[in-house]
Amino acid sequence: MSAARLFPILFLLLAATSHGAPGNRKSGKSSVFSLFNLKDKSKFWSESVIRTDFNDLESPVPGNVGALNYTKAGNIANYLKLLEVEFMYLPVPVNFIFIGFEGKGNQEFKLHAEELERWFTKIDHIFEHTRIPKIGEVLAPFYKISIDRQQHHHLPLVSHINYNFSVHAIQMGEKVTSLFERAIDVLGRIDHVSNVSDEGAGLWQVDVDMMDVLITSLVEYLQLENAYNVFILNPKRDVKRAKYGYRRGLSETEINFLKENKSLQTRIRQSGNSPTSVLALDKIKRPLYAKHPMAKFSWTITDETDTIEWYNKCIDALNNFQTLYQGKETADIIQSKVLQLMNGQDEDMKRLWGKILKAGDLSGLHSECLTDTWIGKDRWAFIDLTAGPFSWGPAVGGEGVRTEISLPNVQRTIGAVAEISADEAENRLQDAIQEKFAVFGDRDHQAIDILLAEIDIYELFAFKHCKGRRVKLALCDELDERMQDLRTELQSFEGEEFDEDHRRKAVDALKRMENWNLFTETPEDFQNYTVARDTFLAHLGATLWGSMRHIISPSIADGAFHFYEQISFQLFFITQEKTTSIKQFVDQKALTEGLSTLVLPSQKVMFSTNILSLSEDPALAMAFSVARRAAAVPVLLVNGTYRKTIRSYLDTSILQHQLQRLNDHGSLKGKHAHSRSLLEVPIFWFIQNEPLLVDKHYQAKALSDMVIVVQSESSAWESHLQCNGRSLLWDLRRPIKAALGAVSEHIAGLLPLHLVYSQAHGTAIEDWIWSAGCSPLSITSQGWQLSKFQTDTIARSYILTTLEESIQIVNSAIHLLAMELTSEQTFKLFRTKERELVNKYNYVVSVWRRISTITGELRYADAMRLLYTLEDYSIGFAEYVNSTVSNLHPIHCTRQRKVQVELDFTTIPAFLIVFFVLWMVLKPRRPKPKIN
């Protein structure tokens, strides 16, 4: 290449380099911009997020000034003042309803608004939505979950979406407390039927179905349905009942009584669908508030007039209920309870009892756990601090198990420092005196030392038994008078006749006594803040924080769960031998009813049934045989017995691979859709005679593209879980509960209630306190009906997936704008695109805002109608950004080809010198003559 051609190229490179200086680029640091920033001094919706007018983004002065602002911005994102979204907040209204804390409940404990706020404002009211990676194999015998941390995650485990909880504490009055105490008395019955004659002994069970009616009526009466309600009960302990808990159905002894009494079974079958006596409560309403306060923390004390109408209706219903059951024999009570279950609203119990009584086989019937927590069918749950305590979770070696000290206990904390009697106080004082002066022995001691020892005794006794008492002890008054005498005696040591050491001890003791306020009356507000109360409130706050993490906003499985208009459940029942009907093996009606509960009202559900036989399908039989494995599983039972069992199980990784191959070859005939409007859920249901599990410990497992369920003939399989010291028994002939749990994980990411993601650990942790209720996600009940907590979680899962993907799309588009540098050459073209670009961004943000507002009112059905719109707007914004950037790129290349060279007086001489040098170097030389 000639030297003359190098100059234009050199100048062009220099111009391009100066234009793309690194100083104009947006740094990679994430912005602190957030939507719905709810910090103390910020507004619910930042006004800088959404533009109300296009002029907000236009340059205030047209022409050269506008172009100057454009070029100075450095990149298009800065010019438009767009930053990547870091957080988005969804409001969640919560009511904590305290019953028995007005001073009439257990231990006459009285809760004050200021101390409740003092502790509850310390609770994190903003949580990130979290996802739990795929759980690996369970490690026997310790049953500890294992998480693969190297997985690729489509969506972040710690989401951009944060929950902002608005906590409203409501203290109910004395009437409500007395009503719940009355309900526990009327609805309770002895757990062991042989102890009916001795009503004061043993364990008592309260019918939780009847408590469900009572609490639901209170929620409806106060119109609290548009918030999540957690009841904290502190009823007065009845001395006639040593211990009580809540249970659905019959106890173990009642089931055994029914199994042995054939005539009773016949009577129940003949009764059929005869109506049973349940609590008949008229639906009356008196709203507690017009709208949830939606503040970080608020406190309301109800008046008796707020609940008196509801109280009177419930008292009448409880009295009628008691009259019907009073004086009945054990067989009559059991008959009434079974008929109540068969004719109740719980479809799972109706189907179960109807089938086993018709078949006459009660072998698979097991009692449910006694608990002191419960999650209702609607948006409420309760904790009874007087009931129990109870325990459940893994039998041996598990983490986060529910123990007898997991819940705060008024009796154990406040009661431990409760007011002792006068005689007991005097005995304790005498014991303390003898113990203190025993160290003196027979040796002579100075008078000052004896006085100081006496002061130490009185000080310690007064702090434990005089300070903060509701009823003052006469002994404390006597000690107060004695302390005044001791003060006078100590002052007498200040004279010169005593040595320096004695005077110093007396002065120190007097200074210590000046700050005392142990015996005198103090205002009640200051007495409340004792160590015992603070310990109790801290424990209660932690428990309620756990309720928000586990039942209101639980973690979901890792993955993207989209909303589909239709869900098609493809059921493949795989038997060993050929059969024409599946009814003899599976209660298909109960299964379809259960699967239908996993579908939201706005979704359409479809079912297709396929019956396959291993004996007639060699390829399927080979896939089953390859996946079937055996493992030696060591088991340590609750009673300490060690046992080694050989378990047959299906390895889901192998089975999934084999079934996918069969599907590719057409061996599995099912419908296949390629549209976002239809989600197909293949459920492979293997029916075997011998006990068979999935991955060693499960009855069902959710995989990425299918659900595996196994069914076998064992009616009382001893699981690795325990409840109140007894192993939980599984009926492997009816795996509907496990199947529904696995399907809910597959379609929406629902996980068992004891699992939650911990940012401190970077993985999932277990807490079994809230594994309660009759849902497929709990272990303490055999029921499989979803609560509204879970149906809301399903709807929220679809909403969060769409919001998360929308944020990712918008952030990637904004990042692209941040990488696109501004220049004067692109200004005119960008001005033609600017208005539409801003409008498309505003469309996305406006839908974000509408979804946030609607979900804060728990109107998830309305929010889901906006999901397709949000997807279209997000993709439209990203595509317009891409097209805008593409249109700007040719301008960078074409409009900078002209090389501008400035000429001055030194340019011409410089060129002359260059040409002279080149001429001297390149001029043709005269040839030299050749001389031989």
**Mean pLDDT in consecutive groups of 10 residues from the start of the chain, 932 residues:** 38 34 36 38 37 39 69 89 91 94 86 77 82 65 51 80 91 94 92 64 87 93 93 89 90 90 86 61 73 76 88 92 84 87 81 81 87 94 92 82 88 63 75 72 66 79 67 74 77 72 76 62 46 82 90 92 94 88 87 94 93 89 90 74 83 90 63 67 93 91 93 88 88 93 95 89 88 92 92 96 95 93 87 92 95 94 94 95 87 52 67 79 62 44
Q: Considering the domain boundaries, does residue 366 fall inside one?
A: no
Identity of residue 830? F
Determine contact, residues 775/743, Cβ cutoff 8 Å: no
Q: What is the pLDDT of residue 701?
A: 94
Q: Where are the beta strands (DSSP E) in 531-627?
A: 556-557, 566-575, 604-613
Question: Which of 748, 782, 817 lies at the terminal end of a domain, its last residue?
Answer: 748
Question: Which of 682, 714, 748 lies at the terminal end of a domain, its last residue?
Answer: 748
Q: Whole-angstrom Cα distance, residue 393 to residue 408?
A: 18
Indicate whether 592 and 684 sit together in one domain: yes
Q: Whole-angstrom Cα distance, residue 12 to residue 6?
A: 10
Q: Which of 266, 205, 248, 267 is nearest to 340 (CA)?
A: 248
Q: What is the pLDDT of residue 634?
A: 75
Q: What is the pLDDT of residue 240?
A: 79
Taking 3-state DSSP, the helix, strand and coil percentages for the chain, each rounded to the nearest 5, stand at 45, 15, 40
Would you tell me how many other CB atoms lie within 10 Å of the CB of residue 843? 18
Indicate whether 578 and 703 sit together in one domain: yes
Q: Considering the domain boundaries, does residue 921 fall inside one?
A: no
Q: Considering the domain boundaries, does residue 28 fall inside one?
A: yes
Q: Considering the domain boundaries, does residue 414 fall inside one?
A: no
Q: What is the pLDDT of residue 206?
A: 94
Indicate whether 516 and 615 sit together in one domain: no
Number of domains into which the chain is organized: 3
CA dihedral over 51, 55, 61, 65, signed as positive or negative: positive
Indicate whether 632 and 707 sit together in one domain: yes
Indicate whether 427 and 498 sit together in one domain: yes
Q: Whole-angstrom Cα distance, residue 584 to residue 89?
A: 51
Q: What is the pLDDT of residue 666?
A: 56
What pTM does this model have? 0.79
Indicate whether 834 and 718 sit together in one domain: no
Indicate whether 661 and 737 sit together in one domain: yes
Omega cis (within 30) before 141: yes
The domain in which residue 478 lies consists of 421-468+473-520
Q: Considering the domain boundaries, does residue 570 fall inside one?
A: yes
Q: Whole-angstrom Cα distance, residue 542 to residue 497?
A: 59
Report the relative pairing of strands 228-233 and 87-99 from DSSP bridges: parallel
Residue with tokens 């001297």: 920
Question: Which of 748, 778, 805 lies at the terminal end of a domain, its last residue?
Answer: 748
Q: Whole-angstrom Cα distance, residue 777 to residue 862?
A: 26
Indicate whether 810 and 733 sit together in one domain: no
Indicate whether 804 and 715 sit together in one domain: no
Q: Whole-angstrom Cα distance, residue 132 to residue 751?
A: 9
Determine contact, residues 234/280, Cβ cutoff 8 Å: no
H helix intervals, 548-632: 588-596, 618-627
Q: Whole-angstrom Cα distance, residue 371 to residue 386?
A: 11
Q: Whole-angstrom Cα distance, residue 701 to residue 710?
A: 9
Q: What is the pLDDT of residue 719?
A: 86
Indicate whether 477 and 566 sit together in one domain: no
Q: Which of 699, 801, 711, 798 is nearest to 752 (CA)?
A: 699
Q: Considering the domain boundaries, does residue 8 fall inside one?
A: no
Q: Considering the domain boundaries, does residue 805 fall inside one?
A: yes
Indicate whether 688 and 817 sit together in one domain: no
Determine contact, residues 138/146, Cβ cutoff 8 Å: yes
Q: Considering the domain boundaries, does residue 578 fall inside one?
A: yes
Indicate whether 587 and 718 sit together in one domain: yes
Between the alpha carbon of residue 851 and those of residues 211, 224, 263, 291, 609, the distances in Å are: 35, 21, 58, 19, 37
